[in-house]
Amino acid sequence: MSFDENTLYNIKTSLPGTRCPLFDLAIWKNGLAFKKIDFSEDGVPVIKIAELNNGIGSNTSFTEGDYGEEVRLHQGDLLFSWSGNPQTSIDVYKYQLDDGWLNQHIFKVTANETMVSKDFLFYLLKYLKPHFTQIATNKQTTGLGHVTIADLKRMSVVVPEKIIQDRIVAVVKTIDDKIEVNNEINKNLIQQSQALYSAWFELFLPFGGSMPSDWRIGTLGDIATIKTTSFNPLKNPGVMLEHYSIPAYDEQHFPVFESSDNVKSNKYILTKNSVLASKLNPDTKRIWRPMCLTDHAVCSTVFIVFEANNNAHKDFLFSIIDSQSFSNWMCAHTTGSTNSRQRTTPSTTLEFKVHVAPDDVIDEFCASVTPMYDLISQNLLENQGLASLRDSLLPKLMSGEIDVSDIDL
């Protein structure tokens, strides 16, 4: 999407209402520039863009200081990340984590409810994201771009009456609510599958609490191999790829579909038996059970591609990779001195110790967890369709192309 200087800041719509600067619709409070001296082992987390995208992790900083309610975050707060890479960092969020302190380069956005509802403002900002991205791109230097208070004051929007706001929100929020239900189902399924693996293969609960005599202690290399079959985009132009990348994982846990003409580096070829674990910064857990919806599924070479030696045991392998013990083991076997450059050597992962049961036991375990993993994939697919519907409706609602006057609330 491209804009000229006028349409970039002067937001067009046929909705009736009052035109005013975007800045007037909220209080925009920037976060604090925390220093290392502010941090402690315990306390309240400092929320940066990384936490908004990936949750609280091992790289999250904490502080025991008190910095005031203006920069204290609570669930449901609106946030606008206004500085960073225009394509990946400029975004709008509803805060979903436990209470935190707001870091710099993120606005806490408090709606002026005499003019707009909180939900309408959220969707208005989502609608304006392409404008924000273009503004930041126009100012981009050394990879970073910004949307400033001056830009918010310059941007002119139409504010419809409250009943129109509520009708627009009703349409879009119904879709988002269904997406959130699917996400909660998936979180529960992940917890169930992890608990089931631990109960069977770490605590041996179905077997009296100790490892059966016909089991053995082996290594991951006994049940899986690492695949490195490569796809060269330069030698395969015009191929539509199902691309499992780190940015795609972080943004939506769903692959990006793009032409090989737009991919600049070699990738690993995936099959329906592939299981992925990121070797980059393993303290940020990134594991994937690719759906392989097409014949051209590939992944970034920062992923380790595992395949079970017995294809029927793919989900036993995935459960191992998804276990906390494997994550801890990867974190303890990294190279590199800084958080941004730590990696796990792929071949080293094959040394991870596992409890190897007879095939019939593993078959029974997979019969329990595979339906869980399949339902997770189905929910992710449904969410993609719902998100596409929402994203197609939102600009039509905000521009007035879709008439909401007949919607009953």
Shared domain for 62 and 99, answered yes or no, is: yes
In percent, the amount of the chain with pLDDT more than 70 equals 99
Residue 405: inside a domain, yes or no?
no
Shared domain for 64 and 153, answered yes or no, is: yes
Res 340 pLDDT > 70: no
Range(s) of the domain holding residue 347 = 180-384
The predicted-structure confidence for 377-399, as pLDDT tens digits, reads as follows 999 999 999 999 999 999 999 99
Shared domain for 152 and 205, answered yes or no, is: no
Shared domain for 131 and 196, answered yes or no, is: no
| Per-residue pLDDT band at 179 (split at 50, 70, 90) | very high
Residue 110: inside a domain, yes or no?
yes
- Calculate the alpha carbon distances from 367 to 209, 266, 359 in Å: 21, 36, 12
Residue 165: inside a domain, yes or no?
no
The predicted-structure confidence for 98-113, as pLDDT tens digits, reads as follows 999 999 999 999 999 9
pLDDT of residue 90: 94
How many domains, the chain? 2
Q: What is the 3-state secondary structure (H, E, C) of the chain?
A: CCCCHHHHHECCCCCCCEEEEHHHHEEEEECECCCHHHCECCCEEEECHHHHHHCCCCCCCEECCCCCHHHEECCCCEEEECEECCCCCCEEEECCCCCEEEECCEEEEEECCCCCCHHHHHHHHHHCHHHHHHHHHHCCECCEEECCHHHHHHCEEEECCHHHHHHHHHHHHHHHHHHHHHHHHHHHHHHHHHHHHHHHHCCCHHHCCCCCCCCEEEEHHHHEEECCCEECHHHCCCCEEEEECHHHHHHHCCCEEEEHHHCCCCEEECCCCEEEEECECCCCCCEECCCCCCCCEEECCCEEEEEECCHHHHHHHHHHHHCHHHHHHHHHCEECCCHHHCEECHHHHCCCEEEECCHHHHHHHHHHHHHHHHHHHHHHHHHHHHHHHHHHHHHHHHHCCCCCCCCCC
Residue 368: inside a domain, yes or no?
yes
Shared domain for 104 and 200, answered yes or no, is: no
Which of 160, 189, 218 is the endpoint of a domain?
A: 160
Supply the mean pLDDT for the chain.
Answer: 94
Shared domain for 367 and 239, answered yes or no, is: yes
> Can you name the residues that pair with 307 across neighbouring β-strands?
225, 274
Residue 170: inside a domain, yes or no?
no
Which of 128, 160, 192 is the endpoint of a domain?
A: 160
Shared domain for 107 and 220, answered yes or no, is: no
Residue 166: inside a domain, yes or no?
no
CATH of the domain at 37: 3.90.220.20
Which of 96, 129, 160 is the endpoint of a domain?
A: 160
Residue 393: inside a domain, yes or no?
no
Q: Across residues 291-314, what is the average pLDDT?
A: 97
Shared domain for 228 and 115, answered yes or no, is: no
Between 59 and 298, whose confidence is greater?
A: 298
> Can you name the residues that pair with 110 across neighbouring β-strands?
27
Shared domain for 152 and 185, answered yes or no, is: no
pLDDT of residue 338: 58
Res 317 pLDDT > 70: yes
Shared domain for 132 and 194, answered yes or no, is: no
The predicted-structure confidence for 344-353, as pLDDT tens digits, reads as follows 999 999 999 9
Shared domain for 315 and 268, answered yes or no, is: yes
The predicted-structure confidence for 205-243, as pLDDT tens digits, reads as follows 999 999 999 999 999 999 999 999 999 999 999 999 999
pLDDT of residue 1: 66
pLDDT of residue 11: 95
Residue 237: inside a domain, yes or no?
yes
The predicted-structure confidence for 68-94, as pLDDT tens digits, reads as follows 999 999 999 999 999 999 988 999 999
| Per-residue pLDDT band at 341 (split at 50, 70, 90) | confident
Name the packing angle between helices 314-322 and 324-332 (round to 10°).
60
Shared domain for 248 and 147, answered yes or no, is: no
Res 259 pLDDT > 70: yes
